[in-house]
Amino acid sequence: MKLTAEDRRALDGERGEAARFALSVVVRMAEAAGAEELLSIEQAHIDACALMSRSSLDLVSHLAEHGGRVRVPTTLSMVSLDLEGWKSLGVSPRFAATASRIAQAYLELGCIPTWTCAPYQGYLTPRFGQQIAWGESNAVAYANSVLGARTNRYPDYLDICAAITGRVPYAGLHRTENRRATVHVHVERARARDWETPAAWAAFGSLVGSLALDGVPVMDGLPAFRPSNDMLKAFGAAAASSGSIELFHMVGITPEAADLATAGQGRLPSNACAVARRQLADAWDELSGADAGSAVDAVILGCPHVSYAEFAALSEAIARFGAARIHPNVQFLVFAGATTVELARRGGLLGPIERWGARIVRDTCPFHSPVVAPTARVIATDSGKCAYYAPGELDVRVAFGTLDACVEAGVKGRMPRREAPWRAR
- Interface positions with another protein (CB under 8 A): 21, 24-25, 28-29, 32-33, 47-48, 51, 53-56, 58-59, 62, 135, 137, 153-158, 241, 244, 389, 392-393
Would you call 309 exposed, middle or buried from its count of C-beta atoms within 10 A (0-12, 13-18, 19+)? middle
Q: Which is nearer to another protein, 137 or 381 (CB)?
A: 137
Tally DSSP H helices, then E strands, for the chain: 15, 14
CB of 256 to another protein, least distance (A): 23
CB of 101 to another protein, least distance (A): 16
Q: Which is nearer to another protein, 211 or 313 (CB)?
A: 211
CB of 259 to another protein, least distance (A): 32
Which residues make Cβ contacts (< 8 Å) with residue 338, sequence separation at least 6?
114, 115, 116, 362, 363
Q: Which is nearer to another protein, 29 or 407 (CB)?
A: 29
Q: Which is nearer to another protein, 90 or 155 (CB)?
A: 155
CB of 17 to another protein, least distance (A): 10
CB of 113 to another protein, least distance (A): 21
CB of 193 to another protein, least distance (A): 34
Q: Residue 119: is the preceding peptide bond cis (ω within 30°)?
A: no
What's the Cα-to-Cα distance from 222 to each of 83, 295, 315, rounded to whole Å? 41, 35, 29
The H-assigned helical ranges of 47-183 are: 54-65, 93-108, 137-142, 158-165
Would you call 104 exposed, middle or buried from its count of C-beta atoms within 10 A (0-12, 13-18, 19+)? middle
Please list the residues that pair with 220 across neighbouring strands.
186
Q: CB neighbours (10 Å) of residue 193?
A: 10
Q: Which is nearer to another protein, 93 or 392 (CB)?
A: 392
Q: Which is nearer to another protein, 42 or 393 (CB)?
A: 393
CB distance 223 to 253 below 8 Å:
no
CA gap 34, 53 in Å, rounded: 31
Q: Which is nearer to another protein, 51 or 406 (CB)?
A: 51
Parallel, antiparallel or unpaired: strands 331-336 and 249-250 = unpaired
Please list the residues that pair with 378 across neighbouring strands.
397
CA gap 207, 283 in Å, rounded: 6
CB of 152 to another protein, least distance (A): 8
* Entry field: residues in the chain: 425
Q: Which is nearer to another protein, 155 or 221 (CB)?
A: 155
CB distance 7 to 95 below 8 Å:
no
CB of 213 to another protein, least distance (A): 9
CB of 23 to another protein, least distance (A): 11
Q: Which is nearer to another protein, 15 or 153 (CB)?
A: 153
